[in-house]
Structure 1
Amino acid sequence: MKDDKKLRRLYQKVIEGTASPDEQALVARWLDQLDTDEGMDKQAAEEWKARSIAELRKAIKPPIPIQSRTRKFVWAASAAAVLLFAIATLIIRFYSQQPIGVEAGSQVLVYTEHSTIAGQRKLLKLADGSRVWLGNVSTIRYPKDFQPDKREVFLEGQAFFEVSPDSIRPFLVHTDGLDVRVLGTSFNVKSYSNEGVQTVSVATGKVSVKPTNDRQEWMLEKGQQVSYHSATKKGVMQETDLSEALNWKDGELIFRDMPLEEIAMQLERWYGVTITIASPSVNNRQLSLSVKDEPLQAVLKMLSLAGDFHFEIRGNHVKIWK
């Protein structure tokens, strides 16, 4: 959009409360024409709209009682102002940390963003032909059209990448603390903000992994994995079982000698539940399990037999105790 800079300035004026009625009307007309489904699938669009409604409900307060003759007018004006403010804020937030159009040299980059919720996975195809399997509770952002000298994406959560070969344009994946660089290969990246360890596992080819703003670097080949500890800023490279690292994209859950506490976090993302472990003594019990397309009840039953604990499912909440 040629006028995106002007609209961003108007957004700022609306946020600061300095926009004139004409300026508010201009933004309102643009928002009315905005296609929120662009770059999203139908479910993601519905989720975005639901979040917008929820935020509007929080933002709009009951009007202060006034004379009945003017009450409707003041309430309508206040609600319209809050509505415009909230939608403008959400639109800015939706289009990620970058502006709608980001200038890179002479090229304007338009970013696309995809997100998943608990229990949801997506298969995406990028402009260069690369494919990305996006894991549960994850977000990926990338230019709609890659730059001439690089292919760059930003990830929060988990994704498996199958990168189309390109000797001129390296493929770069940025997480919160790691930079991954490849030319054409397949690999898995796991980087959740509530976990202290990020992992990169290689299925084919070679992958370079570097902490952001650090001289450390690991060159990984097929079957190798680096585990990077965010707190200590140290990484460990080792051989790995690729089935455990990669089979999630095919709907298979694999736990091998994993503490119950870590298993619970994965089950929360996989099934969209909240799990409370009421007995700390079972937190670190090392358990193993391999299942595919099994209901939560069956998975917990198998784990409870191996880990000697009890569980109870009530709606979206699970309680585990000794």
Structure 2
Amino acid sequence: MNNYINKIIDLYTKSKLEKPVKSRFHRWLINNESYREKEIALFHLWNQTYNVATEDTLVSFTSLQAKAQIYNERKSTRFVAWRYTAVITLIIAITSVYIFMSNDSPEVNYIEYFSDNNLTLNTITLPDGSLVQANTGTIILYPESYGKDTRTVYISGEANFKVQKNKDVPFIVKSKDFLVRALGTEFNVSSYPDETCFRVTLISGSVKVQQNNNPADYILKVNEQFVYNKQTKQRSVTQVDIYNATAWQRGELVFRGVTIKEILNVLERKYSISFQYKSKLFNDDKYNFHFKKESALTDILSIIKEVADNFDYKKTNDSYYINSKSQ
């Protein structure tokens, strides 16, 4: 049985699968059947990924595991669904970090920071005094030599940057596909690997957004947001409400023109839970919501359920099972 499960997980991680297949895999992964064997297989995958990594990856899996609390040697008698989702998500995120750092010098040592799933936002003070406020599920890396010849920060996730001015050494944020350059400014970068869009929002100053292998660049003005849709490859620059765009920094949740699926994805990350539902349950209707700081998840779901009026749910441990209202 264990070899069989190992093969399934190994095949999943090495294959390009359609979204419905991925959804079925996730549902299989988090159900109670053979949960112990799945846990062992995932830990094996984690170790295997660690062993394949070379010094070129520049990331210490050991410290990331500790920060994410992926390893837990205590025996558990119950199945924690979000734990496996977190492992898969973190593997995807770290893989993205490897990809966009692969062309940089392997001689450089990096300092890494992981903001795990919790309701408390974290602020990092960089060596030059610049501040980085990281949203949940975010990986931040910067070289030990930061501030001398370079001020480059790598991101997978979302963070707000308040940059100290230094005309001689520009401040650069790199994601998997984009580079954001600033001198002295405040801006927000959202680059979650599991989200459809990459976003840069300018709060003050000026930034230049560049895409890898693309000569075009975009210079943003205050209150402008650059959006790149990974699926359609479309780019846009629009005026946005900065108060709403930075709501996460105040612990608030603001959704503007997003689908229920996108909302559930954010709630999973923020509250460390898992939603299980059929991929075709929700359509692409867009919704607007604003939830205040420390809003209870049950209250949020009740409001969304009332507005969408097409689903019911029940909670089991750390998982929420969502079904059509007619069922």
TM-score band, normalised by shorter chain: 0.5 to 0.7
Distance 1:110 1:133 in 2: 22
The residue aligned with 1:19 is none
Secondary structure of the 2:307 match is helix
Distance 1:114 1:186 in 2: 20
Q: Answer yes or no: is 1:311 the counterpart of 2:310.
A: no
Residue type of the alignment partner of 2:274: T
* Per-residue CA distance 1:140-185 (angstroms, 9 max, x = gap): 1002331533300100011111111111110000001000000011
The residue aligned with 2:127 is 127
CA change 1:126–1:269 in 2 (3 A) is same
Secondary structure of the 2:146 match is coil
TM-score by length of 1: 0.67
* Per-residue CA distance 1:171-221 (angstroms, 9 max, x = gap): 000001000000011111111111221000111111100101211111111
The residue aligned with 1:241 is 241
TM-score by length of 2: 0.66
**Structure 1 stretches of at least 4 aligned residues deviating more than 6 Å after TM superposition:** none
Aligned pairs for 1:44-123 within 5 A: 45=66, 47=68, 50-51=70-71, 109-120=108-119, 121-123=121-123
Q: Which runs of 5+ in 2 are unaligned?
A: 1-50, 53-61, 75-93
Count of residues paired in the alignment? 240
- Compute the displacement of 1:281 (Å): 4.8
C-alpha contact 1:300 1:311 (8 A) present in aligned 2: no
The residue aligned with 2:158 is 158
The residue aligned with 2:294 is 293
The residue aligned with 1:282 is 282
* Per-residue CA distance 1:221-272 (angstroms, 9 max, x = gap): 1110011123444311111121222110110000123211111111111111
C-alpha contact 2:128 2:147 (8 A) present in aligned 1: no
C-alpha contact 1:118 1:268 (8 A) present in aligned 2: no
C-alpha contact 2:67 2:116 (8 A) present in aligned 1: no
C-alpha contact 2:123 2:134 (8 A) present in aligned 1: yes
* Per-residue CA distance 1:107-163 (angstroms, 9 max, x = gap): x74311011222353210000000001111110100233153330010001111111
Bigger RCO (CA 8 Å, 6+ sep): 2
Distance 2:265 2:163 in 1: 29
Q: Identity of aligned pairs, percent?
A: 27
The residue aligned with 2:141 is 141
* Per-residue CA distance 1:19-76 (angstroms, 9 max, x = gap): xxxxxxxxxxxxxxxxx87xx9xxx84645x53859xxxxxxxxxxxxxxxxxxxxxx
Q: Which runs of 5+ in 1 are unaligned?
A: 1-14, 17-35, 55-92
